[in-house]
Amino acid sequence: MRRKLVVGNWKMNGSGAANAALLSDLLEAHAQWRCEVAVCAPFPYLAQVSELLAGSPLAWGAQDCSANEPGAYTGEVAAAMLSEFGCRYAIVGHSERRALHGEGDQLVADKAKAALAHRLTPIVCVGETLAQREAGETASVVKRQLSAVIHTLAHCISEVVVAYEPVWAIGTGRTASPEQAQAVHALLRAQLQAATEKAGAMQILYGGSVKGDNAAALFAQADIDGGLIGGASLKAADFAAICRAAS
Ligand code: 13P
Protein backbone atom coordinates (compact mmCIF):
# COMPACT_ATOMS: atom_id res chain seq x y z
CA MET A 1 0.00 0.00 0.00
CA ARG A 2 1.27 3.48 -0.84
CA ARG A 3 1.60 5.90 2.06
CA LYS A 4 0.06 9.31 1.56
CA LEU A 5 2.49 12.23 1.34
CA VAL A 6 1.61 15.88 1.94
CA VAL A 7 4.22 18.45 0.91
CA GLY A 8 4.00 22.16 1.64
CA ASN A 9 5.50 24.34 -1.07
CA TRP A 10 6.04 27.69 0.63
CA LYS A 11 7.08 29.28 -2.68
CA MET A 12 8.78 32.67 -2.09
CA ASN A 13 7.14 33.25 1.29
CA GLY A 14 8.28 33.24 4.89
CA SER A 15 10.44 35.06 7.42
CA GLY A 16 12.47 33.83 10.33
CA ALA A 17 9.68 34.63 12.77
CA ALA A 18 6.83 33.34 10.60
CA ASN A 19 8.66 30.07 9.86
CA ALA A 20 9.38 29.47 13.52
CA ALA A 21 5.73 30.01 14.47
CA LEU A 22 4.43 27.83 11.62
CA LEU A 23 6.80 24.95 12.32
CA SER A 24 6.16 25.06 16.03
CA ASP A 25 2.41 24.71 15.36
CA LEU A 26 3.02 21.84 12.91
CA LEU A 27 5.24 20.06 15.42
CA GLU A 28 2.44 20.30 17.95
CA ALA A 29 -0.17 18.96 15.53
CA HIS A 30 1.74 16.16 13.82
CA ALA A 31 0.98 13.47 16.42
CA GLN A 32 -2.51 13.23 14.88
CA TRP A 33 -1.21 12.54 11.36
CA ARG A 34 -0.62 9.12 9.81
CA CYS A 35 0.80 10.40 6.52
CA GLU A 36 4.29 11.47 5.47
CA VAL A 37 4.73 15.25 5.65
CA ALA A 38 7.39 17.60 4.29
CA VAL A 39 7.84 21.34 3.82
CA CYS A 40 9.79 22.90 0.95
CA ALA A 41 11.18 26.29 1.97
CA PRO A 42 13.15 29.01 0.15
CA PHE A 43 16.91 28.31 0.16
CA PRO A 44 17.91 30.88 2.84
CA TYR A 45 15.52 29.27 5.34
CA LEU A 46 16.57 25.66 4.86
CA ALA A 47 19.11 25.79 7.68
CA GLN A 48 16.45 27.14 10.05
CA VAL A 49 13.91 24.53 8.93
CA SER A 50 16.46 21.73 9.27
CA GLU A 51 17.30 22.84 12.81
CA LEU A 52 13.69 23.23 13.93
CA LEU A 53 12.56 19.91 12.45
CA ALA A 54 15.60 17.89 13.60
CA GLY A 55 14.53 14.69 15.32
CA SER A 56 10.90 15.07 14.19
CA PRO A 57 9.17 12.90 11.56
CA LEU A 58 8.61 15.99 9.39
CA ALA A 59 10.91 16.09 6.39
CA TRP A 60 12.06 19.13 4.46
CA GLY A 61 13.07 19.98 0.96
CA ALA A 62 14.05 22.67 -1.52
CA GLN A 63 11.92 24.15 -4.29
CA ASP A 64 14.50 23.66 -7.04
CA CYS A 65 18.06 22.49 -7.60
CA SER A 66 20.65 22.94 -10.31
CA ALA A 67 21.07 20.33 -13.02
CA ASN A 68 24.82 20.96 -12.73
CA GLU A 69 27.50 19.76 -10.38
CA PRO A 70 29.20 22.54 -8.31
CA GLY A 71 31.07 25.03 -10.46
CA ALA A 72 30.71 28.37 -12.22
CA TYR A 73 26.91 28.71 -12.14
CA THR A 74 26.17 32.01 -10.41
CA GLY A 75 22.99 31.97 -8.40
CA GLU A 76 22.39 28.23 -8.62
CA VAL A 77 22.27 25.71 -5.79
CA ALA A 78 23.71 22.24 -6.36
CA ALA A 79 21.93 19.07 -5.27
CA ALA A 80 25.15 18.05 -3.51
CA MET A 81 24.92 21.15 -1.29
CA LEU A 82 21.33 20.41 -0.34
CA SER A 83 22.15 16.80 0.38
CA GLU A 84 25.03 17.77 2.65
CA PHE A 85 22.57 19.29 5.12
CA GLY A 86 20.09 16.45 5.17
CA CYS A 87 17.64 17.79 2.60
CA ARG A 88 15.21 15.02 1.59
CA TYR A 89 13.26 16.45 -1.36
CA ALA A 90 13.72 18.90 -4.24
CA ILE A 91 10.75 20.09 -6.26
CA VAL A 92 11.69 20.24 -9.95
CA GLY A 93 9.72 21.52 -12.93
CA HIS A 94 7.15 23.50 -10.98
CA SER A 95 4.95 25.31 -13.50
CA GLU A 96 6.06 28.67 -12.09
CA ARG A 97 9.65 27.80 -13.01
CA ARG A 98 8.61 26.44 -16.39
CA ALA A 99 6.62 29.62 -17.15
CA LEU A 100 8.70 32.33 -15.46
CA HIS A 101 12.19 30.89 -15.95
CA GLY A 102 11.74 29.14 -19.28
CA GLU A 103 12.55 25.68 -17.93
CA GLY A 104 11.91 23.03 -20.54
CA ASP A 105 11.24 19.31 -20.23
CA GLN A 106 14.86 18.22 -20.67
CA LEU A 107 16.22 20.68 -18.10
CA VAL A 108 13.61 19.48 -15.63
CA ALA A 109 14.65 15.88 -16.31
CA ASP A 110 18.32 16.79 -15.84
CA LYS A 111 17.49 18.44 -12.50
CA ALA A 112 15.68 15.30 -11.39
CA LYS A 113 18.75 13.28 -12.38
CA ALA A 114 21.10 15.57 -10.43
CA ALA A 115 18.83 15.36 -7.39
CA LEU A 116 18.75 11.56 -7.45
CA ALA A 117 22.51 11.38 -7.94
CA HIS A 118 22.82 13.10 -4.56
CA ARG A 119 20.15 11.03 -2.81
CA LEU A 120 17.46 13.72 -2.87
CA THR A 121 13.98 12.64 -3.92
CA PRO A 122 12.86 14.87 -6.81
CA ILE A 123 9.21 15.88 -6.79
CA VAL A 124 8.64 16.21 -10.53
CA CYS A 125 5.77 18.54 -11.42
CA VAL A 126 3.70 18.21 -14.58
CA GLY A 127 0.50 19.94 -15.64
CA GLU A 128 -1.37 21.62 -18.44
CA THR A 129 -2.46 25.24 -18.84
CA LEU A 130 -6.10 26.20 -19.20
CA ALA A 131 -5.65 26.78 -22.95
CA GLN A 132 -4.12 23.30 -23.33
CA ARG A 133 -6.97 21.69 -21.37
CA GLU A 134 -9.57 23.50 -23.44
CA ALA A 135 -7.80 22.39 -26.62
CA GLY A 136 -8.03 18.76 -25.45
CA GLU A 137 -4.25 18.53 -24.99
CA THR A 138 -4.07 17.60 -21.30
CA ALA A 139 -2.99 13.99 -21.88
CA SER A 140 -0.40 14.80 -24.52
CA VAL A 141 1.13 17.65 -22.48
CA VAL A 142 1.55 15.74 -19.21
CA LYS A 143 2.76 12.62 -21.05
CA ARG A 144 5.40 14.66 -22.90
CA GLN A 145 6.56 16.28 -19.65
CA LEU A 146 6.83 12.93 -17.83
CA SER A 147 8.33 11.15 -20.80
CA ALA A 148 11.45 13.37 -20.75
CA VAL A 149 12.03 12.38 -17.12
CA ILE A 150 11.43 8.68 -17.81
CA HIS A 151 13.90 8.70 -20.69
CA THR A 152 16.56 10.52 -18.70
CA LEU A 153 16.26 8.48 -15.50
CA ALA A 154 15.54 5.06 -17.05
CA HIS A 155 14.97 2.47 -14.30
CA CYS A 156 15.61 5.09 -11.56
CA ILE A 157 12.25 6.67 -12.45
CA SER A 158 10.72 4.58 -9.66
CA GLU A 159 12.59 6.76 -7.12
CA VAL A 160 10.84 10.03 -7.96
CA VAL A 161 7.61 11.48 -6.63
CA VAL A 162 5.37 12.84 -9.39
CA ALA A 163 3.06 15.82 -8.81
CA TYR A 164 0.19 16.61 -11.16
CA GLU A 165 -0.50 20.34 -10.90
CA PRO A 166 -2.92 21.71 -13.50
CA VAL A 167 -1.67 25.27 -14.03
CA TRP A 168 -5.24 26.63 -14.08
CA ALA A 169 -5.82 25.32 -10.55
CA ILE A 170 -2.72 26.84 -8.95
CA GLY A 171 -3.47 29.75 -6.64
CA THR A 172 -6.80 30.32 -8.37
CA GLY A 173 -9.15 28.68 -5.89
CA ARG A 174 -10.32 26.57 -8.83
CA THR A 175 -9.47 22.96 -7.91
CA ALA A 176 -9.61 20.09 -10.37
CA SER A 177 -12.55 17.90 -9.41
CA PRO A 178 -11.53 14.59 -7.83
CA GLU A 179 -12.62 12.85 -11.06
CA GLN A 180 -10.65 15.22 -13.31
CA ALA A 181 -7.55 14.77 -11.18
CA GLN A 182 -7.95 10.98 -10.92
CA ALA A 183 -8.26 10.69 -14.70
CA VAL A 184 -4.86 12.35 -15.18
CA HIS A 185 -3.27 10.44 -12.28
CA ALA A 186 -4.42 7.13 -13.81
CA LEU A 187 -2.88 8.15 -17.10
CA LEU A 188 0.42 9.06 -15.43
CA ARG A 189 0.41 5.78 -13.47
CA ALA A 190 -0.11 3.84 -16.71
CA GLN A 191 2.79 5.69 -18.32
CA LEU A 192 5.00 4.87 -15.32
CA GLN A 193 3.85 1.24 -15.45
CA ALA A 194 5.21 0.95 -18.96
CA ALA A 195 8.59 2.17 -17.66
CA THR A 196 8.98 0.38 -14.32
CA GLU A 197 7.42 -2.54 -12.55
CA LYS A 198 7.52 -0.45 -9.36
CA ALA A 199 4.96 2.07 -10.65
CA GLY A 200 2.33 0.72 -8.29
CA ALA A 201 4.44 1.81 -5.33
CA MET A 202 5.15 5.32 -6.61
CA GLN A 203 3.53 8.37 -5.03
CA ILE A 204 1.64 10.69 -7.40
CA LEU A 205 0.56 13.91 -5.67
CA TYR A 206 -2.11 16.37 -6.73
CA GLY A 207 -1.51 20.12 -6.42
CA GLY A 208 -3.69 23.14 -7.16
CA SER A 209 -5.90 24.91 -4.62
CA VAL A 210 -5.97 21.98 -2.19
CA LYS A 211 -7.66 23.10 1.04
CA GLY A 212 -8.89 21.43 4.21
CA ASP A 213 -12.39 21.10 2.78
CA ASN A 214 -11.56 19.50 -0.58
CA ALA A 215 -8.52 17.40 0.38
CA ALA A 216 -10.36 14.29 1.60
CA ALA A 217 -12.31 13.84 -1.64
CA LEU A 218 -9.15 14.24 -3.73
CA PHE A 219 -7.11 11.87 -1.53
CA ALA A 220 -9.88 9.24 -1.69
CA GLN A 221 -9.18 8.71 -5.41
CA ALA A 222 -7.38 5.49 -6.29
CA ASP A 223 -4.28 7.09 -7.82
CA ILE A 224 -3.98 10.27 -5.73
CA ASP A 225 -1.36 9.65 -3.07
CA GLY A 226 -1.33 13.02 -1.36
CA GLY A 227 -0.89 16.67 -2.19
CA LEU A 228 1.55 19.43 -3.04
CA ILE A 229 0.16 22.41 -1.20
CA GLY A 230 0.87 26.08 -1.91
CA GLY A 231 -1.17 28.78 -0.19
CA ALA A 232 -2.70 26.52 2.45
CA SER A 233 0.75 25.32 3.56
CA LEU A 234 1.50 28.76 5.01
CA LYS A 235 -1.19 28.55 7.69
CA ALA A 236 -0.70 25.85 10.31
CA ALA A 237 -4.42 25.18 10.82
CA ASP A 238 -5.08 24.82 7.08
CA PHE A 239 -2.06 22.62 6.46
CA ALA A 240 -2.88 20.50 9.52
CA ALA A 241 -6.42 19.96 8.22
CA ILE A 242 -5.01 18.71 4.90
CA CYS A 243 -2.59 16.37 6.71
CA ARG A 244 -5.49 15.01 8.77
CA ALA A 245 -7.44 14.39 5.57
CA ALA A 246 -4.49 12.33 4.30
CA SER A 247 -4.25 10.28 7.49
P1 13P B 1 -1.89 26.50 -4.38
O2 13P B 1 -2.14 25.39 -3.37
O3 13P B 1 -1.66 27.82 -3.76
O4 13P B 1 -2.90 26.47 -5.46
O5 13P B 1 -0.48 26.13 -5.08
C6 13P B 1 -0.28 24.86 -5.58
C7 13P B 1 1.15 24.72 -5.94
O8 13P B 1 1.62 25.33 -6.88
C9 13P B 1 1.99 23.84 -5.10
O10 13P B 1 3.22 23.60 -5.69
Q: How far is 211 from 231, CA to CA, in rounded Å?
A: 9
> Which of the listed residues 6, 7, 9 should we mutate to test ligand 1's pocket, taking the one with most ligand atoms within 8 A of CB?
9
Active-site residue (options: 94, 103, 128, 185): 94
Going by pLDDT thresholds of 50, 70 and 90, the confidence category of residue 173 is: confident
Kindly list the structural domains of the chain, giving each domain's residue range(s) and its CATH number in brackets, ordered by start: 5-25+36-237 (3.20.20.70)
What value does the mean pLDDT take over residues 119-138? 97
Mean pLDDT of the chain: 97
127 CB near ligand 1 (under 6 Å): no
pTM of the predicted protein model: 0.98
pLDDT at residue 240 in the model: 98
Residue 3 has pLDDT above 80, yes or no: yes
Could you say which of 36, 103, 128, 165 is catalytic?
Answer: 165
Non-local (6+) Cβ contacts of 225 within 8 A are 2, 3, 4, 5, 202, 203, 204, 205
Best of 170, 233, 234 for a ligand 1 pocket test (most atoms within 8 Å of beta carbon): 170
Q: What is the pLDDT of residues 185-215, one digit of tens each?
A: 999 999 999 999 999 999 999 999 999 999 9
CA–CA distance, 239 with 229 (Å, rounded to integer): 8
Q: How confident is the model at residue 1 (pLDDT cuts 50, 70, 90)?
A: confident
Q: What is the pLDDT of residues 81-92, one digit of tens each?
A: 999 989 999 999
pLDDT for 4 beyond 90: yes
Asked whether 171 lines ligand 1 (CB < 6 A), one says: yes
Amino acid at 60: W
The radius of gyration computed from the CA coordinates of the chain, to the nearest angstrom, equals 17
Q: Burial-class residue 57 by CB neighbours within 10 Å (0-12, 13-18, 19+).
A: exposed
**Which conformational region is residue 209 in: left (phi greater than 0), alpha (psi within -120 to 50 degrees), or beta?**
left
Residues in the chain: 247
